[in-house]
Amino acid sequence: MLTAVVNSDPDRARGLDAAPHTSREQAYGLILRTLLALGIAVFALCCLVQARYRKG
Protein backbone atom coordinates (compact mmCIF):
# COMPACT_ATOMS: atom_id res chain seq x y z
CA MET A 1 0.00 0.00 0.00
CA LEU A 2 2.91 2.31 0.73
CA THR A 3 4.26 1.67 -2.77
CA ALA A 4 0.95 2.80 -4.27
CA VAL A 5 1.11 6.01 -2.25
CA VAL A 6 4.69 6.75 -3.25
CA ASN A 7 4.26 5.94 -6.94
CA SER A 8 0.84 7.50 -7.48
CA ASP A 9 0.46 10.33 -9.93
CA PRO A 10 -2.35 12.70 -8.87
CA ASP A 11 -2.67 14.03 -12.42
CA ARG A 12 -3.62 10.54 -13.65
CA ALA A 13 -6.07 9.81 -10.82
CA ARG A 14 -9.66 9.38 -11.93
CA GLY A 15 -12.93 8.77 -10.16
CA LEU A 16 -14.93 5.57 -9.80
CA ASP A 17 -16.85 6.31 -12.99
CA ALA A 18 -13.64 5.89 -15.01
CA ALA A 19 -13.48 2.12 -14.44
CA PRO A 20 -16.51 1.24 -16.61
CA HIS A 21 -15.35 3.62 -19.33
CA THR A 22 -11.86 2.13 -19.29
CA SER A 23 -13.15 -1.45 -19.44
CA ARG A 24 -15.46 -0.54 -22.33
CA GLU A 25 -12.47 0.68 -24.34
CA GLN A 26 -10.55 -2.59 -23.92
CA ALA A 27 -10.77 -5.44 -26.41
CA TYR A 28 -12.08 -7.78 -23.70
CA GLY A 29 -14.38 -5.14 -22.17
CA LEU A 30 -17.68 -6.58 -23.39
CA ILE A 31 -16.77 -10.07 -22.21
CA LEU A 32 -15.63 -8.77 -18.82
CA ARG A 33 -18.78 -6.71 -18.28
CA THR A 34 -20.99 -9.61 -19.38
CA LEU A 35 -19.27 -11.98 -16.94
CA LEU A 36 -19.61 -9.41 -14.18
CA ALA A 37 -23.34 -8.99 -14.87
CA LEU A 38 -23.85 -12.77 -14.95
CA GLY A 39 -21.95 -13.16 -11.69
CA ILE A 40 -24.10 -10.56 -9.97
CA ALA A 41 -27.28 -12.20 -11.32
CA VAL A 42 -26.19 -15.66 -10.12
CA PHE A 43 -25.31 -14.24 -6.70
CA ALA A 44 -28.73 -12.59 -6.44
CA LEU A 45 -30.45 -15.83 -7.43
CA CYS A 46 -28.40 -17.74 -4.84
CA CYS A 47 -29.42 -15.24 -2.15
CA LEU A 48 -33.08 -15.52 -3.10
CA VAL A 49 -33.01 -19.32 -3.03
CA GLN A 50 -31.18 -19.33 0.29
CA ALA A 51 -33.65 -16.87 1.80
CA ARG A 52 -36.60 -18.95 0.58
CA TYR A 53 -35.37 -22.33 1.82
CA ARG A 54 -33.42 -21.34 4.95
CA LYS A 55 -34.42 -23.21 8.06
CA GLY A 56 -34.47 -21.47 11.32
Residue among 49, 14, 22, 20 nearest 37 (CA)? 20
Q: Please give the tally of structural domains in the chain.
A: 1
Is residue 35 situated within a structural domain? yes
What is the pLDDT at residue 2? 64
Is residue 44 situated within a structural domain? yes
Provide the residue-wise pLDDT of the chain in tens; the chain has 56 residues: 566 567 777 777 777 788 788 888 888 889 999 999 999 999 999 999 999 999 86
Is residue 6 situated within a structural domain? no
Is residue 25 situated within a structural domain? yes
Which structural domain, as residue segments, surrounds residue 39? 17-56
Is residue 51 situated within a structural domain? yes
Is residue 11 situated within a structural domain? no
pTM of the predicted protein model: 0.64
Q: Residue 49, Cα to own-chain centre: how many angstroms? A: 23
Is residue 5 situated within a structural domain? no
Is residue 42 situated within a structural domain? yes
What is the pLDDT at residue 25? 86
